[in-house]
Amino acid sequence: MFWSRRQGVDELKCEVYMNKKSIITLSVLKQLAKNLQKEKSLSWHKALDEAARESGYTNYKNYQNQTKLEIGDFVRKILLENDPLKKEELAILFLKNFQGSFQDRFKIIEYVSGSNEVIKLICEKSNLIKEIELLFLKDLQADKGGEVEIYAPNFIANKVLFSELNYELQEGKICIEGNYELKLKFDGEVPNELKNLPHFNSQPMYGDFEIMVDKNKKIIIDNQSIGWKE
């Protein structure tokens, strides 16, 4: 079994054991099988078996049986645990050894009542913050006549970096709040009379934001501000 629980005299004590192979969801395994099918000209059934073996299982049938046991055992144990901190620890240990889609990981949030550390780990494992930074940058670049252009005429957003992030579950969505640094570049050839302006000495703009992400990884920029640092 992936998880092991022992019943103590006074309280329910939990010991967690991690096996050597990762927990891989069906969608991830099937993608691996598709790649192997194409690379080795295998039938779909043989590709599934090969993908399962590469993932540490005997064959595809063994993968199906073992994964149901491992994931099911995790769900049972986290639901039985009453201590919020222990719930969080269980979820973090599981997620560190779990390969799945964002949707697969998102389901775990509900088991831990929106734990900040669990949501943070899910976002990191899903490369979500980099995706949001890219979307955020594209949104600023597309906002013609917006705040960036008002504060810094003839400049465009060039790079955005997030910091001081906080994570929370709100109405079934992940809410991410934080600050960001925005680096600018001149839109076109730089006139000589402008080269000594602060913008050309790598002075970035700063702001804060609030972004919502649903279980399908749909990203919505809820609130955003920007300006020069005083």
pLDDT digits (tens, 9 = 90+) for 135-158: 999 998 888 778 888 888 778 888
229 within a domain of the structure (yes/no): no
pLDDT cut 70: percent of the chain above it: 83
Domain residue limits at 197: 128-224
Do residues 23 and 90 share a domain?
A: yes
Do residues 102 and 91 share a domain?
A: yes
Into how many domains does the chain fold? 2
59-102 pLDDT, tens digit per residue, is 998 888 877 667 777 778 877 888 888 888 888 888 887 877 88
For the beta carbon of residue 200, count every other beta carbon within 10 angstroms.
Answer: 14
What is the distance between the alpha carbons of residues 202 and 135, in angstroms, rounded to a whole number? 22
230 within a domain of the structure (yes/no): no
132 within a domain of the structure (yes/no): yes
Provide mean pLDDT across the span 211-224: 91
Do residues 121 and 146 share a domain?
A: no
Provide mean pLDDT across the span 191-204: 66
Do residues 119 and 181 share a domain?
A: no
Do residues 81 and 145 share a domain?
A: no
2 close to 15: Cβ distance less than 8 angstroms:
no
Do residues 48 and 101 share a domain?
A: yes
181 within a domain of the structure (yes/no): yes
Last residue of some domain: 62, 96, 125? 125
For tokens 């913050």, name the residue: 129
Last residue of some domain: 68, 92, 125? 125
At residue 3, the pLDDT reads 31
Total number of residues shown for the chain: 230
84 close to 118: Cβ distance less than 8 angstroms:
no
- pLDDT for residue 27 is more than 80: no
Q: Which residues pair with 178 in a beta bridge?
A: 209
The pTM of the full predicted model, rounded to 2 decimals, is 0.65
Pick the more confident residue, 230 or 113: 113
- pLDDT for residue 18 is more than 50: no
Query: Comparing C-alpha atoms, which of 16, 18, 13, 17 is closest to residue 81?
Result: 13
